């Protein structure tokens, strides 16, 4: 292959995103300049957060553009290098976008090892895995025997929270959308129990499943699920505030759950938000520990794979429809 295939944004979605909002083009392979490297994309991840970048009116400055390569993070192999700090053959994590080749300044690229599947650097060893790791371990402070409840448990963060909680000897309860995903959470991820928030009696099922209460609630959703979880929390329990999926897709976020701060006082609950960037100085140590778990088979991160650059739009559309378990990735080149 002597050309660069690129997936471009062809049009902005008016309602739901579809594959027809993208088009495939072929351009010449770019040449790296001074201090730059040419990178060959091996694998990319598609993330729900990217959908937000396609919203808004193009009439506003800074609004989304069409006819540009769709952005995204990937693992790439250095093909040519004009930098002393990277050599051809090195593997790096970078903003490849949805294309075969990209050029980057070598400074600031994360060089990675090849002793595990490089795709893990987009999941278990990437931002999502680190979010699960620090959120659960540093903010949640799990103790053996604790009951850990996780919302959006099938997601790239949530499924890692469940696995790490299992490693720490906790009982794990995952919340997801459908009964099918509940089955997968138990069979593939190892959750001890799983619940569908769409169930008619979700509130009752949550109460029954967490009969001994909840010690850590890892909240990826906010909203009603947070409200129901709050009423299951034990004395001196922790709510790890990681994300607010329930409010990403609305300009009119609902009221917060009642019982705040009253229940926090009565039960001495700690509710704490965090952002992964605050832990940057500890990333390398955390990656080594997670990698150790992967190599020993203690942890089995799920990468939900599509194959081929041309399948990236379909992988994204399916992700937004809630089709994935784990981290959604697209293999471009072996």
Which residues make up the interface to its own copies (CB under 8 A)?
219, 222, 226, 239, 241-244, 247, 253-275, 278
Evaluate the omega torsion of the peptide bond into residue 254 and state whether it is cis, within 30 degrees of 0.
no
Is the Cβ of residue 32 or residue 135 nearer to its own copies in the bound state? 135
Name the helix (H) or strand (E) containing 202.
Answer: helix 202-209
Q: What are the tokens at 108?
A: 């600031």
Coil vs helix vs strand at 228: helix
DSSP 8-state assignment for residue 309: G
Residue 95 Cβ vs its own copies, minimum distance, rounded to whole Å: 23
Asked if residue 165 lies in contact with residue 186, where contact means CB atoms within 8 angstroms, the answer is no
Residue 199 Cβ vs its own copies, minimum distance, rounded to whole Å: 23
Q: What are the tokens at 292?
A: 């150790």
Residue 53 Cβ vs its own copies, minimum distance, rounded to whole Å: 18
Is the Cβ of residue 264 or residue 320 nearer to its own copies in the bound state? 264
| Cβ neighbour number for residue 139 with a 10 Å cutoff | 19
Residue 52 Cβ vs its own copies, minimum distance, rounded to whole Å: 14
Q: What is the CA radius of gyration of the chain?
A: 21
Is the Cβ of residue 248 or residue 293 nearer to its own copies in the bound state? 248
Is the Cβ of residue 257 or residue 322 nearer to its own copies in the bound state? 257
Is the Cβ of residue 86 or residue 157 nearer to its own copies in the bound state? 157
Question: What phi-psi label fits residue 68: left (phi over 0), alpha (psi between -120 and 50 degrees) or beta?
Answer: beta
Residue 152 Cβ vs its own copies, minimum distance, rounded to whole Å: 13
* CA–CA gap between residue 131 and residue 150 (Å, rounded): 13
């Amino acid at each position: 292959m002597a050309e660069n295939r690129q997936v471009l944004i062809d049009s902005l979605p008016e309602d739901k995103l579809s594959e027809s909002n993208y088009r495939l083009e072929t351009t010449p392979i770019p040449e790296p300049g001074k201090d730059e490297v040419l990178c060959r994309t091996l694998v990319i991840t598609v993330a729900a957060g990217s959908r937000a970048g396609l919203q808004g009116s193009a009439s506003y400055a800074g609004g989304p553009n069409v006819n540009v390569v769709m952005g995204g993070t990937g693992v790439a192999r250095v093909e040519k290098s004009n930098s002393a700090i990277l050599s051809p053959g090195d593997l790096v994590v970078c903003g490849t976008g949805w294309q075969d080749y990209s050029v980057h300044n070598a400074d600031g690229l994360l060089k990675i090892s090849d002793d595990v599947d490089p795709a893990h650097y987009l999941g278990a060893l990437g931002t999502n895995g680190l979010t699960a790791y620090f959120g659960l371990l540093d903010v949640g402070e799990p103790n053996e025997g604790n009951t850990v409840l996780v919302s959006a448990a099938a997601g790239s963060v949530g499924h890692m929270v469940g696995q790490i909680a299992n490693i720490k000897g906790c009982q794990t309860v995952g919340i997801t959308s459908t009964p099918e995903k509940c089955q997968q959470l138990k069979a593939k991820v190892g959750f001890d129990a799983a619940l569908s928030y769409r169930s008619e009696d979700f509130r009752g099922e949550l109460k029954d499943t967490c009969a001994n209460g909840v010690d850590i609630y890892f909240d990826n959703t906010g909203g009603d699920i947070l409200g129901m979880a709050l009423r299951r929390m034990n004395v001196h329990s922790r709510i790890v505030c990681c994300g607010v999926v329930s409010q990403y897709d609305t300009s009119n976020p609902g009221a917060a759950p009642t019982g705040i701060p009253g229940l926090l006082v009565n039960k001495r609950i700690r509710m704490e938000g965090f952002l992964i960037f605050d832990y940057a100085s500890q990333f390398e140590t955390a990656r080594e520990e997670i990698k150790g778990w992967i190599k020993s088979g203690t942890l089995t991160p799920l990468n939900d794979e599509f194959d081929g650059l041309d399948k990236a739009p379909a992988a994204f559309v399916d992700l937004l429809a809630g089709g994935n378990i784990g981290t959604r990735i697209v293999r471009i080149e072996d």
